[in-house]
């Protein structure tokens, strides 16, 4: 039967005919595949959005199953070839092995293309293709089955045919299902992404959510979801909008709400006790902690299999196989073990980092929420700088902790497993190694305790330094005006040296720790082998290298012990500080506001016999026995001398001051205008709207009522002009009017206005009074604190306060007739007004505008907010790869490269020592001529000597860190203190603070160790590879391409990772900025009940910062996972080489050594890459510090060759010639060619409307701004020719914003300690402050405390302190910039007399809004829009027709007389 014979030949898988058929089938498949690819490239690209490829489960299962099939065929082919080579030393015949290899490759290509690239292939072709594969595989499968049944035998070929058919079924399903899904998808794609109304959306409004949110199991395990972002980062520089948002459950809001939910549950269970914040955080995240713990456990178990496999390998190499092909099984097992180890470790680290991120977000949110509710006493305990530190440093440290959390127990577990493995290898000698490990841990205990103590001290020192730093930065203008920068800089340097002392202590303990734990594996192995010698346990290659491999694997966890201890300690200290802050007392908001039930009550306010205390002190209330009833719509004025408690009364109504007895009832909503203006950085419009929606008509009316229209015309972008932080580019009056506009726009029921007119000129004050108070707030309840008696007759009631009590409350005329105190006040006002001088002043008619008039006069102006020329620039960040530049910058500090070289050299010697040690063991262990004693002694000696270099390495690292930190800090400090005022005007404080807090903290503690450890880890990694390659050179065929691949992959990674880390830095500044602003404006935020909006903004900023951080650490794991796969392949190849080589061609000692290094290759590679990534992240802090280390500085402080005489200025004659000033090179002129002369001893008054350039002229005199043209000559010396310190220290000034510093009264008056106590007391007497200082704190006198920003002294008292400074300095030229704006008339009168007497022969230049203040002057200089309008004696100007000064006087008198006529 020849036919049947032929048929059997066809279906027998081992015949040549069958092989030919399969080969033809493979060729046809490949030709079709090429054809389909060509088809694909000719298709038009589909229009619409480019979506990131996402794979279905079916696609993934199909691709994995078929890839494995292809790999099996490939491996089978290689194995057949290798067997043939070994047995017959020839590759012929080609049939079986070549068929398997070609079939494996074809199957791999086809299955991957069809499974994963399906959506991009032509649908008809891909379906046809999968049908053909299915049919042909089915035929082969059927024939194999038929043959197997008939011949009753099963071969590998038959099995593979059957499996191929199952793969083909999967491919067919995949093609049909996915192409159907693609049909529906394509249609929606086209319609969804067509531009709306024919316009393309210019800006994507909602950033897309991270792919991680929807990723499946395989996708998450392999970090496949990151591919799209990494690809984008490679193709272009990433920008903020490219970074996806976090998924819902990782956002700050979700984390914080979860935290609150758990907290409330705990409180309900046990209302009496304070729940532990730590327990609640653990409760919130216990599931994630358990899952990451499971992966950690899996990793430890997989890692511990290594030495056991090594032991078997050595036995196989010696020819002791337990079964055939055991070597191949071991090599494959090794690969799988390493892959599982890699997968589990990556998931463990990634999940822990994610927990850390969530904890950090919730703590930052909780701290922000808390600072909005802090009570006054708690504010004294936790300054703004400290709160900033809690967020930028402490929360950051706690966020790092979960990453290390499982290390605490996995290290112990790994040690225990290692001891078991050691016991199997060397029996009782293990006890020696256990003893050494125990001794190491015991030695570390006192070190850890000390480190905890020093870390706590360091945090306190850091707080102190930051407090001083932020105070100096906030008040930089004042420091420059007084020429006190050097004093403050030295104070900060002193605090910094104290801080560095603790940095040194902490780092030194860390260095000892590192030495202890790095040298312990060396000691442990020596102790173990020594014990073997004494216990007569024989040493062979297999047990010696099992010990060495086990210890090499335990090395990494043991080496991380110091880090773990450090991190645990830092987190504990940080956590204690944050918890203490979160448990600080809050403002009582109970028993106060009753929201209105009936409309008649809205706007009423009642206080009954209440006492209020600022410092929660019941025995000494700040306000006593307050009784007050205000009916809806009433206008109440509050007057009294400086420090009588006026502002405190408003604060008490707002519940900012705690009530110790009595009751208070308020009906309605507040609007509050504080005495010191609080302005947010942002546009003017944003400041006025303050979260409310835009109503154009209401907005225009508000601008008009607040007298802002003229100012807005002067601004380059109108109301869309960006204001600097705290309103630095606005005049005092503009800030106040923006505050007033904000209050009016809010449409509240009760308006609390704290002396808003003090900073504006008389004309504007009148306008505001008529338009704003009388008309804008008609029908509203108003409580106005004021020193301006002129307005009082218009009020329904006047409260007269003295020493914390309301002594009188009645309408104007009643008070005038009944109260002597009040009569004094009015009399003082008349005296200062000097009414006898002005006779023929016509009164101007009071005019009002209705809303419709306003709309007519104000033609709508639209401003385009161009981002180009705004004052506040976007924060800059470095872009692209800077290579080694930042590292070299770091090493160039204080000869850093010397310490660095010593450390690197020591490390190299240590690594070489270790290799020598193990080579000696490998060469001599089975050498009968070397005795066991000699073997062990040489091993120990090499170990001890190389360990000494570890100590040198650790100490030089500490030195490197300390020296570089010192140098970087000093350069930064000098640069910031020498920066011109324009830098502070355009740079938000948060940007500078985030650099001097968190970035500096990283430079202090992390950069040096990170740098050295990265070098160390990399040398270790290359040492491992070298040993592998030297012993089995065949590995080079695999490892060289793999290393090339690894380096390319790392480059690919860094393209995205660097940008992500930089974004993390800049977005951290947003969080810091917003926090700094909110701390400053907490009272205003609470008064307008805007806490929720600010909190929401804070949550958004936290997420904005968390997103780049999340993607940055995910990218880190993405890279390491791919690199670990590479190292697993290298190791498996090396193992295969050893197995394939004939037994005896390598000594078992060297096989043992190579594999013991190979097993730790994975670990050392990860350790190396991780540390390289860490230092790349840390070095960004050095980059960020470096940005502010080279700010263009002001003119020199002292010009040695050109110093003025000691007694300069003698006469005080000031000549101004053609003076032109602009704030920035591209900005318009602010002063446009002013020329005038102030004779020595003249009293000059400078007047002009708000924003006309008065304060700029003063700035020019002190060279806060350098002239753009013209010059100022004082007593014959051009002020631009001498040093700034010489200039500023010779002039006296009382600045517009009175500033006090944290410290004592003495320190505030005389920080340079140039005067005796007696002189200071005299000056206090002249400033009306003597009593206040004596009464302040029992008998402390000049040592009475002044808290941050002088918050425990009233605004008026602060201005008196500034006057005291001027009196102490006794300059020939004194400048008063709105010096008495916040002072009542009586005190003002005394002060004017004091100034006249004390500075009788000096030149006094006064900028004033109160006309009476300048009436005494010998000459008046009037400025309008930056030009000099007139300059003459006041009386002459008044009589001159059309005089600007004359008009100001008339306006002033018109409202003064209208007050009289009431």
Q: pLDDT tens-digit profile of 466-503?
A: 989 988 998 898 999 999 999 999 999 999 999 999 99
Distance CA 1367, CA 1372 (A): 11
838 pLDDT band (50/70/90 cuts)?
very low
Task: Give the pLDDT of residue 48.
Answer: 37
pLDDT reported for residue 192: 36
Q: What is the DSSP letter of 274?
A: P
- The predicted model gives 305-321 an average pLDDT of 76
Instruction: From residue 1011, give the alpha-carbon distance in Å to each of 412, 501, 1020, 1162, 1195.
Output: 27, 22, 14, 21, 37
Our CA dihedral for 1120, 1122, 1123, 1126, rounded to 10 degrees, sits at: 160
Residues 6+ apart with CB under 8 A from 1267: 1219, 1220, 1221, 1260, 1280
Q: CA 705, CA 699: separation in Å to the nearest integer?
A: 10
Lowest mean pLDDT among 164-178, 392-406, 899-913: 164-178
Predicted local confidence at residue 930, as pLDDT: 82
**Cα dist from 802 to 624, 640, 641, 662, 866, whole Å:** 11, 6, 7, 20, 51
Closest CA to 672 of 83, 1158, 1096, 1090: 1090
- 1412 vs 1176: CA distance, rounded Å: 64
- Looking at residue 872, its pLDDT comes to 66
Is pLDDT of 982 > 60?
Answer: yes
Q: Is the peptide bond before 29 cis (omega within 30 degrees of 0)?
A: no
- pLDDT exceeds cutoff 50 at 203: no
In tens, the pLDDT along 1271-1299 reads 999 999 999 999 999 999 999 998 877 88
pLDDT bracket for residue 1044 (50, 70, 90): confident
> pLDDT confidence of 511, banded at 50, 70, 90?
very high
Q: What's residue 598's pLDDT?
A: 62
Q: Report the distance separating Cα 410 and Cα 382, nearest Å.
A: 38
- What integer is the mean pLDDT of 77-99? 75
What one-character DSSP code corresponds to residue 787?
S
Residue 363, pLDDT above cutoff 60: yes
CB 1403 within 8 A of CB 1238: yes
pLDDT greater at residue 347 or residue 1410? 347
The most confident of 250-264, 408-422, 426-440, 1409-1423, by mean pLDDT: 250-264
What integer is the mean pLDDT of 438-459? 85
Find the angle CA(1139)-CA(1141)-CA(1144) to the nearest 5 degrees: 95
Would you give the DSSP letter of residue 656? -
Inter-residue contact 1259 to 1265 (CB < 8 Å): yes
Residue located via tokens 């083909």? 168
Position 176 pLDDT exceeds 80: no
Quote the pLDDT of residue 291: 92
Least confident of 206-210, 553-557, 1328-1332: 553-557
For the chain, the distance separating the N- and C-terminal CA atoms, rounded to the nearest angstrom, is 136
Q: What is the mean pLDDT of residues 997-1020?
A: 91
Residue 959: pLDDT band with limits 50, 70, 90 = very high
537: which residues sit within 8 A by CB, 6+ positions away?
426, 427, 428, 429, 531
The length of the chain is 1462
3-class secondary-structure state, position 612: strand
Among the listed ranges 242-251, 566-575, 735-744, 965-974, which one has the minimum average pLDDT value? 566-575
Going by C-alpha positions, the residue among 868, 137, 932, 896 that lies closest to residue 537 is 932
Q: Are 806 and 673 in contact (CB under 8 A)?
A: no
Q: 673: which strand partners? A: 753
| pLDDT at site 183 | 47
């Amino acid at each position: 039967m020849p036919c049947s014979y032929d048929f059997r030949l066809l279906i027998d898988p081992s015949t040549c005919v069958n092989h030919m058929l399969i080969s033809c089938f493979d060729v046809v498949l490949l030709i079709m595949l090429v054809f389909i690819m060509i088809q694909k490239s000719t298709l038009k690209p589909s229009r619409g959005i480019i979506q990131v490829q996402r794979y279905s489960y079916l696609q993934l299962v199909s691709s994995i199953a078929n890839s494995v099939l292809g790999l099996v065929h490939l491996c089978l082919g290689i194995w057949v070839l290798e067997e043939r080579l070994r047995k017959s030393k020839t590759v012929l015949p080609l049939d079986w092995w070549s068929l398997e290899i070609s079939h494996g490759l074809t199957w791999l290509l086809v299955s991957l293309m069809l499974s994963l690239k399906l959506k991009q292939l032509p649908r008809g072709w891909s379906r046809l293709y999968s049908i053909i594969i299915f049919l042909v595989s089915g035929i082969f499968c059927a024939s194999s089955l038929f043959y197997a049944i008939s011949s009753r035998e099963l071969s590998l070929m038959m099995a593979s045919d059957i499996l191929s058919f199952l793969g083909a079924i999967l491919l067919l399903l995949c093609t049909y299902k996915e192409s159907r899904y693609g049909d529906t998808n394509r249609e929606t794609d086209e319609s969804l992404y067509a531009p709306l109304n024919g316009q393309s959306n210019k800006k994507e409004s909602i950033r897309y959510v991270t792919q991680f949110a929807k990723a499946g199991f395989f996708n998450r395990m392999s970090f496949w979801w990151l591919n799209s972002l990494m690809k984008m980062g490679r193709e272009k520089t990433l920008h903020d909008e490219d970074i996806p948002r976090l998924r819902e459950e990782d956002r700050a809001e979700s984390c914080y709400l979860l935290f609150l939910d758990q907290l409330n549950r705990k409180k309900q269970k046990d209302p009496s006790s304070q729940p532990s914040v730590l327990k609640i955080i653990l409760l919130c995240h216990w599931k994630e902690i358990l899952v990451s713990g499971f992966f950690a456990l899996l990793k430890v178990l997989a890692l511990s299999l290594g030495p056991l496999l090594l032991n078997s390998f050595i036995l196989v190499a010696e020819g002791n196989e337990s079964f055939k092909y055991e070597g191949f099984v071991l090599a494959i097992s090794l690969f799988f073990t390493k892959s599982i180890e890699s997968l589990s470790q990556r998931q463990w680290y990634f999940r822990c980092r994610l927990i850390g991120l969530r904890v950090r977000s919730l703590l930052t949110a909780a701290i922000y929420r808390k600072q909005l509710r802090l009570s006054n006493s708690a504010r004294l305990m936790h300054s703004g700088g400290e709160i900033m530190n809690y967020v930028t440093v402490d929360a950051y440290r706690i966020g790092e902790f979960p990453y290390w959390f499982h290390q605490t127990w996995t290290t112990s577990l790994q040690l225990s497993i290692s001891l078991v493995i050691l016991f199997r290898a060397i029996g009782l000698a293990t006890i020696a190694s256990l003893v050494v490990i125990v001794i190491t841990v015991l030695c570390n205990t006192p070190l850890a305790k000390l480190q905890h103590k020093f870390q706590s001290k360091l945090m306190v020192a850091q707080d102190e330094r930051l407090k001083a730093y932020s105070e100096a930065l906030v008040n930089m203008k004042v420091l420059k005006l007084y020429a006190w920068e050097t004093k403050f800089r030295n104070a900060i340097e002193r605090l910094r040296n104290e801080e560095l002392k603790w940095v040194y202590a902490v780092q030194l303990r860390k260095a000892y720790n590192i030495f202890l734990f790095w040298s312990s594996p060396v000691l442990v192995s020596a102790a173990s082998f020594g014990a073997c010698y004494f216990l007569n346990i024989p040493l062979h290659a297999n047990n010696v290298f099992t010990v060495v491999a086990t210890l090499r694997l335990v090395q990494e966890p043991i080496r991380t012990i110091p880090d773990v201890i450090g991190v645990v300690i830092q987190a504990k200290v940080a956590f204690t500080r944050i918890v203490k802050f979160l448990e600080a007392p809050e403002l009582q908001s109970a028993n106060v506001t009753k929201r209105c039930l009936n409309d008649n009550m809205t706007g009423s306010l009642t206080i009954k016999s209440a006492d209020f205390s600022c410092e929660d002190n019941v025995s000494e209330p700040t306000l006593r026995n307050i009784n007050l009833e205000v009916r809806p719509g009433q206008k109440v004025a509050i007057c009294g001398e400086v420090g009588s408690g006026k502002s405190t009364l408003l604060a008490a109504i707002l519940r900012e001051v705690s009530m110790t007895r009595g009751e208070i009832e308020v009906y309605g909503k507040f609007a509050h205008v504080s005495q010191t203006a609080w302005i947010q950085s942002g546009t003017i419009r944003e400041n006025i709207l303050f979260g409310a929606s835009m109503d154009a008509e209401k907005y225009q009316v508000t601008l008009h009522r607040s007298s802002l229209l003229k100012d807005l015309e002067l601004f380059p972008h109108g109301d869309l002009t960006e204001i600097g932080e705290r309103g630095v580019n606005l005049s005092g009056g503009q800030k106040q009017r923006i505050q007033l506009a904000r209050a009016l726009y809010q449409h509240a029921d009760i308006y609390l206005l704290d002396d808003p007119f003090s900073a504006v000129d008389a004309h504007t004050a009148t306008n505001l009074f008529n338009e704003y108070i009388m008309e804008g707030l008609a029908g509203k309840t108003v409580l106005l604190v004021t020193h301006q008696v002129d307005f009082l007759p218009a009020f329904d009631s006047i409260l007269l306060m003295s020493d914390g009590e309301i002594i009188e409350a009645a309408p104007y005329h009643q008070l005038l007739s009944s109260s002597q105190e009040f009569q004094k006040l009015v009399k003082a006002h008349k005296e200062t007004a000097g009414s006898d001088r002005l006779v023929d002043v016509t009164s101007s008619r009071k005019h009002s505008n209705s809303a419709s008039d306003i709309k007519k006069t104000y033609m709508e102006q639209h401003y385009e907010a161009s981002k180009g020329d705004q004052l506040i620039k976007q924060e800059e960040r470095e872009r692209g790869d800077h290579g080694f530049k930042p590292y070299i910058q770091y090493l160039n500090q204080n000869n850093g490269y010397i310490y660095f070289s010593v450390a690197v050299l020591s490390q190299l010697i240590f690594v070489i020592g270790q290799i020598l040690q193990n080579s000696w063991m490998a060469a001599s262990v089975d050498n009968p001529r070397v005795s066991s004693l000699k073997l062990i002694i040489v091993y120990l000696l090499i170990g001890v000597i190389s360990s000494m270099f570890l100590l040198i390495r650790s100490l030089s690292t500490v030195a490197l860190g300390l020296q570089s930190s010192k140098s970087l800090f000093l350069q930064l400090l000098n640069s910031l203190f020498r920066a011109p005022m324009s830098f502070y005007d355009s740079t938000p404080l948060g940007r500078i603070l985030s650099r001097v807090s968190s970035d500096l903290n990283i430079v202090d503690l992390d950069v040096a160790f990170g740098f050295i450890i990265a070098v160390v880890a990399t040398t270790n990694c290359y040492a491992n590879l070298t040993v592998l390659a030297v012993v089995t050179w065949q590995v080079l065929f695999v490892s060289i391409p793999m290393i090339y691949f690894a380096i390319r992959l790392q480059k690919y990674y860094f393209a995205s990772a660097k940008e992500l880390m930089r974004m993390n830095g800049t977005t951290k500044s947003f969080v810091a900025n917003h926090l700094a602003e909110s701390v400053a404006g907490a009272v205003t935020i609470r008064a307008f009940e805007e806490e929720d909006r600010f909190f929401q903004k804070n949550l958004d900023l936290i997420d904005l910062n968390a997103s780049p951080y999340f993607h940055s650490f995910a990218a880190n794991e993405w890279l390491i996972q791919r690199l670990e796969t590479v190292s697993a392949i290298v190791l498996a190849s090396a193992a295969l080489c050893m197995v394939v080589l004939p037994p005896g061609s390598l000594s078992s000692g060297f096989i043992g050594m190579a594999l013991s290094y190979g097993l730790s290759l994975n670990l050392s590679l990860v350790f190396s890459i991780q540390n390289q990534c860490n230092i790349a992240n840390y070095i960004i802090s050095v980059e960020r510090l470096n940005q502010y280390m080279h700010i263009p500085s002001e003119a020199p402080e002292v010009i040695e060759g050109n110093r003025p005489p000691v007694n300069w200025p003698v006469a005080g004659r000031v000549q101004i010639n053609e003076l032109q000033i602009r704030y920035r090179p591209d900005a318009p002129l602010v002063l446009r060619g002013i020329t005038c002369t102030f004779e020595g001893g003249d009293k000059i008054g400078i007047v002009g409307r708000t924003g006309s350039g008065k304060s700029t002229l003063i700035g020019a005199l002190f060279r806060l701004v350098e002239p753009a043209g013209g010059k100022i000559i004082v007593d014959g010396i051009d002020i631009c020719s001498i040093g700034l310190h010489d200039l500023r220290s010779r002039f006296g000034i009382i600045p517009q914003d009175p500033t006090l510093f944290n410290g004592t009264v003495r320190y505030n008056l005389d920080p340079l300690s140039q005067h005796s106590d007696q002189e200071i007391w005299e000056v206090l007497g002249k400033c009306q402050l003597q009593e206040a200082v004596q009464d302040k704190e029992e008998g402390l006198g000049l040592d009475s405390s002044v808290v941050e920003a002088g918050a425990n002294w009233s605004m008026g008292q602060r201005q008196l302190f500034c006057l005291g400074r001027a009196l102490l300095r006794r300059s020939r030229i004194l400048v008063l910039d709105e010096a008495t704006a916040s002072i009542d008339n009586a005190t003002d009168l005394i002060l004017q007399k004091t100034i006249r007497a004390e500075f009788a022969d000096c030149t006094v230049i006064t900028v004033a809004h109160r006309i009476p203040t300048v009436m005494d002057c010998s000459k008046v200089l009037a400025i309008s829009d930056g030009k000099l309008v007139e300059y003459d004696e006041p009386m002459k100007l008044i009589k001159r027709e059309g005089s600007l000064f004359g008009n100001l006087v008339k306006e002033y008198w018109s409202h003064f007389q209208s007050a009289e006529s009431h």
